[in-house]
Structure 1
Amino acid sequence: MKKTIIALAITGSIVISGVVAVAAQNSNKQDVLSSQEISKKALSYVKGKVYKIELEQEKSGPVYEIDVKGTKAEYELKLDAKTGELLKKSTKYNTSNLTGKKIGIARAKQIALNSVKGKIRKAKLDKEDNIYEIEIIKGKYEYEFDIHAYTGKILKKDKEKITSAKKGNVISLRRAKQIALRSVNGVVQQAQYNQNNGLYEIHIVKNSKTYKLNIDAHTGAIINQRDGNSVYTASNGSIIGLEEAKQIALNAVGGVVTSANLDNEDGVYDVEVQSGEFEYEFEINAHTGAIVKQQKESISQTFASIGANTISMENAKQIALSKVSGTILSANYEQASNLYEISISANGYEYEFDIHAQTGAIVKQDQEPLENTAINNDAAIISSQKASQIALSKAKGTVTKIDLEEGIYEIEVKDGTYEYEIEIDAKTGDILSFDKEYED
């Protein structure tokens, strides 16, 4: 994509005075609006001060990308460079619209770990941008997250393979022992560095058992851990099977396996088990069968996060509809960020809202033309509220997601134990399919 910067911010003194400095004019482009003309067009859509203008060449033709700062929000606009027509609008509201209380770094870490189950290497708050920056190591990869300090929404997630150049020097043997002892509180019997595979091999004795741990010498991550008195090995000498991994988890807590898969990257089986009122997550070494990690969470507490302390999905939809009168295309609750994501079709545009589930504040609003408005403009379809009622007549619980696609409502309902997926004909209201399974 070819980009020409037409106007760019701005020294500190100019920012304070509110004056926008135009750096250059593209005099060779007689068929596009000037920066002054496009600024006026932008301010006809939103109120504020233009502080950045960029001219880009897209497949459909030249467009302007304009940033406008208002008193309550910042706007990113995309306008047709020839006509000034609004092609897209993104609104980022100031955090004063929220409760004024940050989620805390512990909560930010958990949001990142819910996305990638690994080891946190770094976590800090960028006070200027109100963003928690979290780095996680998992296997051979490093993940970087930017998490909004007020909403908990993941703004950025990058994944990068850790190269030998990036790893640099290895951690000390003393540091490796400390890491091992945090996992198994016993007595170090043996500790050595294996240069061939870049691992520290640590043996710890606890309660007459010997635990063997392999620790990445560059990142400090525990690659695997096994109990020397309870070693599992596959009959073919490679890895244990999926069924055996499930049985190992069930031997630990009983219950029902709701999810199980092999993570080839880390060489572990990820197994989830529901037992009574709790959900357990296991990481089981695929070579030894040792339980490397085990987490326990109350199902009722998980479900309560979309309960009394949050507004309902219907309330969230009404908040969005109070801004734009149209047809709900989709509605979804994101537990990690505590936001409702609502999409509305109206007047040939699709509007997307992020609404804070506790305060009802509109955190973000996007607008862009619809590619296909045939189904969205069809007055014969039932409303999303009616579709939700039909779904709840079949499955009692809470609607956590609703999408309208190709004349079909796809609705997700959760009751704390089960998750239901229901497809409903958007014109007739007939239930087309109904699936029920344990919540993941």
Structure 2
Amino acid sequence: MKKYTRITAVLVLGGLLAGCGAAEGKDIGQESAKSIAFEKAGVTEDEVSRLKVSKDRDDGRSIYEVEFDAGEKEYSYDIGASDGAVLSEETDVRDSYETQTPSGTQTTEGQDTANQQNTAESSSQGDAQNVQVAVSQEDAKKAALERVPGAEEKDLRMELDLDDGQYIYEGDIVYQQTEYEFEIDANTGSFLKWSEENY
């Protein structure tokens, strides 16, 4: 009698574990998660840049985190890995580089136009904010993109920042499931930081 009870208990427990594994084992895959996010955003993959797809767990549930840019917007979705449900979504309007001001400086609306023109003329090597630096924004972008074969300007984000009295170009490139973060000295053009993270 005891032998029969043990066998039944093992079979019941094995069935329960197999059932849990079957439910958790279903996975829509990265391609389906991307398609769901693109459809929700109303974009095609051709319109997308800076695409990141990673699998994670949230509250005990497997999810795909899908992030990308399209036009002037940034999109972020959490997609259920087992059923493709959209669990969360965020859309932000992206700031363009030209509208950003280096940290620690201020711009005043309505400044004298002649003053702005004089500043621009005296800063032939400066960037969009007319800050005098030796390395232009375009040269810094070119240097960063040269380190990632195939990446284009649409994959890059960069801003001029004032850090401890030193101007640096700080940014990242997201290309083919890898994020490259960098800092470039705005006066020497040397890379102060370069890191890579695969998704």
| TM-score > 0.5, shorter chain as reference | no
TM-score by length of 1: 0.22
Structure with more strand by fraction: 1
TM-score by length of 2: 0.43
Could you say which structure has the larger radius of gyration?
1
